[in-house]
Amino acid sequence: MRVLLINPLDDYNLGLAYIASFLKGKGHDVLIRNFEANIGTKPLGLHRMLKGSGLAKAHYQDCIAWKPDIIGITIMELSHDSALEIASVLRKKCNAVYIAGGSSVALHKEAFLQDNPVFDHAIYGEGEETTADLLEALSGRKQLKDIAGLIYRDGGNIRLNPPRPLLIVDVLPYPDVAIQKAKHYYYPILSSRGCPYSCVFCMNGIVWDKKWRGRSVENVIAEIRFVVEKSGCRNFSIVDDNFTLDLERAKGILRRIIAGGFNIQFALGNGIRADRIDEELVSLLRDAGCCRVAIGVENGDPATFDYVRKGESLDDIEKAVKLIKRHGIPVEAFMIIGLIGTDKDSVYRSMGFIRKLDIPARWYIAMPFAGTPLYDWVQTNGRFFQEVDCRHGTWSAKPPVFFETDRFPKAEMIRMHRIANIDSKNYFFLMSGNTLVGRVISGFYRVLRYRPTRIFDYMGFLIRCIVDPYKAIFNLKV
């Protein structure tokens, strides 16, 4: 069968890449398209874009011309309406079977298919085997009712099949990723799936059932060797949610990178836990070529930190940061505004903690996913907004705000988001707009409004961006 996999956003989607490889191994023709649409809850106006020129029109025409039998679209909370509009536009021209997958399906299950008639089927959980089985059923070789992880229409009813057991990750083929040999290209390595912890904001436990599975050292090293030998690419990004959960496995991977003489550099940009590192690990990270480490701090306020339920302490975080800095590896923090029990004073205390650590930080506004403790808390203590503007994404001065509380209204969250990012010198999050000039000017405006004494520092950031934008924005050691 001819299978078209669509990512509504403009970045790579490793989940689709793994599904594509798996299906190709079963003999199917597979095409991945990053549709590069704007994201948001308001209509994209694709019908208008398609009349003109640009990427949306080109992707639309490519999809129709390819004549797929199956169209699968991955859907996240931020890209929900973009995905629906893409599916609706394509459905008028492509006589195919439409399948939805991704976190939105995992969170809402039967309700998703009930609310979105444009899709024929939906897949929750890991998609590789379920998609392959669904294609078998559509060819008449299986029954829909026997496919674990599938949600399907049965006449006027929606049927939810039992969940599929989690995969053995070592048996999966490498993802179907277009490898580039470019200075700022980082090949994504997913060396493990899942996370056993219970952070209040995270959907991981819902999607992966709080189970962690690590690929073997040999399997990870084989992929790195494959990429280096095939393309010469030596930049990697380890995108695990919990790379160091099994410390000995992580150390084994690093030792093999060093012994193999790969001469690579890699970033741990998704964040690692502060309580899952030690002196030996950090030394190996440095020697293996680690150019950036992120730590999920989320909240540095001692009065409300425990509400995050991270299972580690602020003291653990402080010790970990000192250790990483001592070995000369750039380290930054991920912070979240609007978590349980917080207000603007909490953010100021968190800013003080980050200043004490003396590291960069990226500040986001909390997103309460259905089924998480944060979502339940907002239902009781706050108000969800019916319309949320997601068009600018989370790396922006206009991030989506899904809720507010009496103690922390929306306007105050946005204000503290800007103040905190300026305080942490994360100037990229101060920008907004569709043109380079507009983004630069918007950054000037917000720095002058909220922290005018930082204007020359902001200008220095712009100069560093001209010299090497990736190094300036991502805090890379290159």
- Listed residues 407, 426, 445: the one ending a domain: 426
Contact status, residue 335 vs residue 394, Cβ threshold 8 Å: no
In a domain, 222, yes or no: yes
Q: Provide the residue range defining the domain that includes 81.
A: 2-160
Residue 110 lies in a domain: yes
3-state secondary structure 355-370: HHHCCCEEEEECCCCC
Q: Based on the domain organization, do 156 and 206 belong to the same domain?
A: no
CATH, residue 372: 3.20.20.70
Is position 338 within any domain?
Answer: yes
Assigned domain for 55 exists: yes
pLDDT-derived band at 59 (thresholds 50, 70, 90) equals: confident
Could you give phi then psi for residue 186, rounded to 5 degrees?
-120, 115
74 plus 205 within the same structural domain: no
Does any domain span residue 435?
no
Query: Tens of pLDDT along 257-297?
Result: 999 999 999 999 898 999 999 999 999 999 999 999 999 99
| 273 and 356 inside one domain | yes
Contact 21, 173 (CB under 8 A): yes
Q: Is the pTM of this model over 0.75?
A: yes
Q: Is residue 374 part of a domain?
A: yes
User: pLDDT per residue over 235-260, tens digit each?
Assistant: 999 999 999 999 999 999 999 999 99
Which residue among 160, 188, 212 closes a domain?
160
At 225, the pLDDT band (50, 70, 90 cuts) reads very high
The residues near 163 (Cβ < 8 Å, ≥ 6 apart) are 124, 125, 148, 149, 209
Phi first, then psi: give them for residue 235, nearest 5 degrees. -110, 130
Tell me how far apart the 2 most distant CA atoms of the chain are, in Å. Answer: 68
State whether 17 and 47 are in the same domain: yes
Give the pLDDT of residue 348. 98
Domain count, the chain: 2
Question: What is the structure's pLDDT at 218?
Answer: 98
Residue 390 — very low, low, confident or very high, per pLDDT cuts 50/70/90? confident
pLDDT bracket for residue 48 (50, 70, 90): very low
According to the model, what pLDDT value does residue 47 have? 38
Closest CA relative to residue 30, chosen from 90, 58, 72, 89: 72
Q: Which of 133, 160, 187 is the last residue of a domain?
A: 160
**165: in domain:** no
Within-domain flag for 474? no
First to last CA, the chain: 44
Residue 252 and residue 377 in one domain: yes
Residues 155 and 197 grouped into a single domain? no
- Strand ranges (DSSP E) for 187-234? 187-189, 192-193, 213-214
Q: Provide the CATH number for the domain around residue 131.
A: 3.40.50.280
Of the pLDDT bands very low, low, confident and very high (cuts 50, 70, 90), residue 36 is: low
Are 191 and 339 part of one and the same domain?
Answer: yes
pLDDT in tens, 108-130: 999 999 999 999 999 999 999 99
